[in-house]
Chain A
Amino acid sequence: EDKVVQSPLSLVVHEGDTVTLNCSYEVTNFRSLLWYKQEKKAPTFLFMLTSSGIEKKSGRLSSILDKKELFSILNITATQTGDSAVYLCAGGSGTYKYIFGTGTRLKVLA
């Protein structure tokens, strides 16, 4: 059965800290991995990763995929209170749909 596991489940840090969120996957005929940020509303897209070892970067956020070890990480540097959210990852399977993890809840304290 396909599954996506995120860790840690929750995390509390102070502004300015760097955090690393983990996403491991077991997805049949894996095609791509998505990262989303969810505040008290709909998930908003962050990154899509399809190739191993190539870092995607957007401001203070970056992500990389390791297709050999079946995981991805999302890094956030110099965290701000606005980064507080649930971060979701999803693995895309050969059956043409995404399997979502349960998310990591990040709280950034001022």
Chain B
Amino acid sequence: DAEITQSPRHKITETGRQVTLACHQTWNHNNMFWYRQDLGHGLRLIHYSYGVQDTNKGEVSDGYSVSRSNTEDLPLTLESAASSQTSVYFCASSSQPLEYEQYFGPGTRLTVT
């Protein structure tokens, strides 16, 4: 069965370190998204991609970067982790940008100490 996976599921890192969160989907979807979820804010879009070599900034992109070298993967990198980036991170994918559901991965809980 097609699925979307994230790794690691839990991560503790120190302030200033570079961290990369992996997202892999086997739906063969062109569209992939990274969100963070914090209490009181719901899901906020960090970056998104509509295909290979395409990346776009979302509403909370500062301090994050992504790259899309193939259809299946969209890794999220925190260049220099900050305590404000402690959050739960969800990756999602969809077959079309709109008017189609987004399938979510299981999430990564990141703690920056």
Contact = CB atoms under 8 A, between A and B. Distances in A.
Contact of B99 (A31, A97, A99, A100): A31
B99 A92 contact: yes
Interface residue tally on B, bucketed by range: 20 to 34
Nearest to B107: A42
B104 A43 contact: yes
Nearest to A2: B59
A102 B90 contact: no
A98 B42 contact: no
Contacts of A41: 106-107
Contacts of A43: 43, 90, 104
B97 A97 contact: yes
B97 to A, nearest CB: 4
Contacts of B50: 96
B98 interface: yes
Given A32-B98, A96-B98, A88 B43 contact: yes
B64 interface: no
Given A100-B44, A102-B41, A42 B106 contact: yes
A9 to B, nearest CB: 9
Interface string B84-103: 00000010000001111111
20 contacts: A31-B99, A32-B99, A34-B101, A41-B106, A42-B90, A44-B104, A45-B102, A45-B103, A88-B42, A88-B43, A90-B43, A92-B98, A92-B99, A96-B50, A97-B33, A98-B102, A99-B45, A100-B35, A100-B43, A100-B44
